[in-house]
Amino acid sequence: MAARAGRCCRAGLSCGALLSPALLSPAVLSRAPATPRWGRAAFSSAPAVSGREGPQAREGSVRRRGRTLQFVRSAAPPRTERMAVDQDWSSVYPTAAAFKPASVPLPIRMGYPVKGGVPPPKEGNLELIKIPNFLHLTPPAIKKHCAALKDFCTEWPSALDSDEKCEQHFPIEIETVDYVSSGTSIRNPKARVVTLRVKLSSLNLDDHAKKKLIKLVGERYCQETDVLTITTDRCPLRRQNYDYSMHLLTVLYHESWKTEKWESEKSEEDMEEYVWENSHSQKNALDTLLRIKASENVSNVTKEELLASEVVKNYRNSVIALKNEGETESNISQYKESVKKLLNIQA
């Protein structure tokens, strides 16, 4: 933005440079009547300049040349010299503007240095004009802006004094983006996108519904943070997208509570995670244990007792860890220990 304004300013400068020789040269003035349209434009500006002379305006080109020469002048000293050390900087740079070397009292250098030298100074330095600057957004300026804008803010509800409470009372988070630019259009197609975030734990779901919901949303659910993210951008307006994302959430919720007929056909391979209960592993382990007990002539040992025993629980946990978390060194060694204890093997 700043860069564009800067270019504009340069254009103005060069235009002035082009104009002044044109004003000086009598050839242009004499040629003017030949081109009627521009001639009129040139003429209409003439009274503005010579109007102050009043009756002497007629005295012709000699006089005019004398006047134009008065405009040839040197530049004034930069106003940084007159600036007080404690001046109010936000008044010097109130808005975004291109870098103005005569208004910035800093010894800035920028650009490619000459060999063995330093980068060029700020005066007439294009590199400094090109880059966007934030001279108008100094921390004191932002503080002032915030203080001025405070009147437009509503008071924060006192009951919501922590993030946890906010999450608890307002579990749904909507994110939209407004775009500000220095273009001809105030519209931006990207402003219609709406992102909805909600923690699954804040929804009223049972185990089945939760698993189904996760299956339904696929990659929109983040396992680590337990957050479901719905981004909608298919409608042309933000409001429509917002409504659509709410609709999606509602539909997902109700859909996940339904249990279809075919869900009973869910087999061990379809499970989201390994469940030890009623698995092959449990059956085999119990079988083995019962036969061991039988061979040791220890009767009246029920399955329930076995399941409640420490070694079996230990074994169960290590198997679950191995299946759900993968084969890590600690898992493997834990599994080894539990198997040894289960079978009562001394090594």
Partner 1 sequence: MAARRVAGGCWQRALCLGRRCRLPGGRESYRSSSSTSALGKTVDNSQVTQEEIVLPRRKTWDKLAVLQALASTVNRDPTAAHYMFQDDPFLMPRNAANARLYSLSKESGRNAAKYIIKNFPQYFDKTFAEPNVPCLMPESLTPQTEGVSEGALRERIHLRLVKESVDMFDQLLQAGTPVSLETTNSLLDLLCFYGGGEPTPQKEQEEKEGLEEPEVNASEQKAPKRQFQRGSQSSGPKWRENNHAERIFKVMPERNAHSYCTMIRGMVKHEAYSKAYDMYIDLLNERHKADVHTFNALIRAVPYLKERFPERWELAKEFLTHMAQQKVQPTLLTFNSVLKSLRRCGGVGRAVSLSVLKEMEALDIEPSLASYDHLLSMFYKGADPQSSDIISEVLNEVEKRSFTAQDPDDANFFNTAMQVCCDLKDIKLAYQLNRALEKGDNWKFLDVDRLNGYWSKFFSLLCMMEQIEVVLKWYKEMSSSLFYPSPKNILDLLQALDAANQLEVIPSVWEDVKQLGFSRIPDVLEEFLSLMSRDQHPSEIQLAFAKCAEDIKAVHEPAGPGQVPLEWTGSALGHVVVLFSRAGRTQDAWNMMEHFQKINRIPTDKVMDEFLNCAKQTNCPDEAIKMVKLAASLGLLSSQRLKSRMEKEFELSETQKKALESIKWDGDSSDSDSDSSDSDSE
Q: Which of residues 236-255 bind partner 1 (CB under 8 A)?
A: 249-250, 253
* Range in contact with partner 1 (rule: CB under 8 A) among 140-148, 227-235, 271-279, 332-340: 140-148
Of 57 and 301, CB closest to partner 1: 57
- CB of residue 93 to partner 1, shortest distance in Å: 9
The burial class, CB within 10 Å (0-12 / 13-18 / 19+), for 23 is middle
* Range in contact with partner 1 (rule: CB under 8 A) among 141-149, 220-228, 302-310, 311-319: 141-149
The answer to whether residues 197 and 228 touch, using CB atoms and an 8 Å cutoff, is yes
* Range in contact with partner 1 (rule: CB under 8 A) among 153-161, 260-268, 279-287, 317-325: 153-161
Quick one: tokens of 34?
């030949």
Of 79 and 340, CB closest to partner 1: 79
* Range in contact with partner 1 (rule: CB under 8 A) among 137-145, 284-292, 298-306, 312-320: 137-145
Q: Comparing C-alpha atoms, which of 346, 287, 329, 294 is closest to residue 312?
A: 287
Helix (H/G/I), strand (E/B), else coil: 160: coil
Rounded to whole angstroms, the Cα distance separating 172 from 192 reads 18
Rounded to whole angstroms, the Cα distance separating 263 from 260 reads 5
By CB under 8 A, residue 160 contacts partner 1:
yes
Of 187 and 266, CB closest to partner 1: 187
**Using alpha carbons only, how large is the chain's radius of gyration in Å?**
40
Of 55 and 326, CB closest to partner 1: 55
Q: Comparing C-alpha atoms, which of 26, 96, 32 is closest to residue 65?
A: 26
The residues, ordered by sequence, that sit 6+ positions from 127 with a Cβ below 8 Å of its Cβ are 110, 111, 120
CA 255 to chain centre: 32
By CB under 8 A, residue 339 contacts partner 1:
no
Residue type present at position 315: Y
One residue of 34, 48, 345, 347 binding partner 1 per CB under 8 A: 48
By CB under 8 A, residue 227 contacts partner 1:
no
One residue of 20, 35, 188, 324 binding partner 1 per CB under 8 A: 188
* Range in contact with partner 1 (rule: CB under 8 A) among 88-96, 264-272, 290-298, 339-347: 88-96
End-to-end Cα distance, the chain: 76
Quick one: tokens of 32?
């003017």
Judged by CB under 8 A, the number of residues near partner 1 is 78
* Contact string (CB under 8 A) for partner 1, positions 201-220, x = contact: -xxx----------------
